Amino acid sequence: MNDAILRRTLLQALGVTALPIAAARAQQAYPDRSIRVVVPYAAGGGTDVTARAATLRLTAELGQQMPVDNRTGANTAIGAEYVARARPDGYTLFVSGSTTFVLLPLLTRRLPFQTSDFAPVSQLTRFPMACVVNPSVEGGFPEIVARIQRAPNEFLYAHTGIGSSGHLMGERLFMTHGLRLTSVPYRGFAPTLVDMLAGRIPMTFESVPAVMPFHRDGRVRIVAVSSPERWESLPDVPTFRELGYNSMAFHGWFGMVAPAGTPAAIVERLSQAIAKISTDPGYREAIAGTGQQVVHNTPAEFASLIATETVEWRSVIEPLNISLD
């Protein structure tokens, strides 16, 4: 199947449809009770903080409480399955990122859900991924790469598990630029961070929201970011692209989805509410403080992003034969 056909198939599977006029009545009545928002990570993490910042404003906009339900485990699959099986009435929503909607479906055939089990609503935020080093590692990213090229067996990088975004980012970088580097998988960000701070691991790849607090206080050092342009909260950090690594220009993101089959009028109502809060200065400031940017797009645009990124990451994963099965 070529990329154009795959992208079209994914868009169809994601259930992107026009808003039916007959469904306007459902939109007007919705919501009339509280809305559960499932987050597949523990409280206090980047996804959770983003979800809570958004739901605080959406509660005021929609006039109903939106409690966050942290359902962790199985690399987001537990929370995703719960939402995929929920009644498609707009009262159970899900906030997650590309790990759930792009990477896991490419890495395993044994998922308890499919991307097509969800109706995209809107992105909430975007952020760069970062190359992060212990402060004892000298030089910028070009100097680090030169060191790796001279002695590849003497350098390694950590990540939060096979198939994680950090692992695949490292593989994407080294594969496309002819470098091979030993990677060390950890069981999550917390133990990775412990060994980074202790100097036992020289380098990792992680999202800017996850590492920003430690970069600010000097306990780690961000040496390059994946955003196409310099990131506003890290103006002194170069991008991979300006360093000559053009394949590394991309964003990570968090977004909101509903179960597939949720009436289009309700999905549109939620998307419009997200559009409205995205202009709130207090919300934008809160999100900027985490190293992210506020984003809104339509359900169709969000679905297109998921489909496009699936094609892009497939080109990384398949040649390396990376699988969680």
Helix axes 189-197, 208-216, angle to 10 degrees: 30
Instruction: State whether 99 and 123 are in the same domain.
Output: yes
Instruction: State whether 280 and 267 are in the same domain.
Output: yes
Average pLDDT over residues 295-321: 94
Query: Rounded mean pLDDT of the chain?
Result: 90
75 with 98: CB under 8 angstroms? no
10 confidence band (pLDDT: 50, 70, 90): low
Instruction: State whether 212 and 120 are in the same domain.
Output: no
Instruction: State whether 267 and 241 are in the same domain.
Output: no
30 with 266: CB under 8 angstroms? yes
Number of domains making up the chain? 2
Place of tokens 């719960």: 82
Instruction: State whether 74 and 173 are in the same domain.
Output: no
Q: How far is CA 31 from the centre of its chain?
A: 27
Distance between CA atoms of residues 98 and 92, nearest Å: 19
Reported as a single tens digit per residue, the pLDDT across 15-70 is 554 445 545 555 568 999 999 999 999 898 889 999 999 999 999 999 999 999 99
Average pLDDT over residues 288-308: 96
Structural domain range at position 179: 129-248
Residue at which a domain ends, from 216, 248, 280 = 248
Most confidently modeled range among 3-7, 41-45, 129-133, 181-185: 129-133
Instruction: State whether 194 and 243 are in the same domain.
Output: yes
256 confidence band (pLDDT: 50, 70, 90): very high
Instruction: State whether 169 and 83 are in the same domain.
Output: no
Residue at which a domain ends, from 248, 275, 307 = 248
CB within 8 Å of 261: residues ≥ 6 apart: 15, 88, 119
187 burial type by CB count under 10 A (0-12 exposed, 13-18 middle, 19+ buried): exposed
In a domain, 325, yes or no: no
Instruction: State whether 37 and 107 are in the same domain.
Output: yes
132 burial type by CB count under 10 A (0-12 exposed, 13-18 middle, 19+ buried): buried
Instruction: State whether 167 and 309 are in the same domain.
Output: no
Residue at which a domain ends, from 202, 230, 248 = 248
pLDDT score of 183: 87
Helix axes 208-216, 46-62, angle to 10 degrees: 110
Q: What percent of the chain has a predicted confidence (pLDDT) above 70?
A: 91
Q: Of 291, 133, 157, nearest to 221 (Cα)?
A: 133
Lowest mean pLDDT across 16-30, 97-111, 142-156, 192-206: 16-30
Place of tokens 């007959």: 22
In a domain, 16, yes or no: yes
Both tokens of 148, joined, read 């790796």
Reported as a single tens digit per residue, the pLDDT across 157-178 is 999 888 888 999 988 888 777 7
Instruction: State whether 57 and 143 are in the same domain.
Output: no
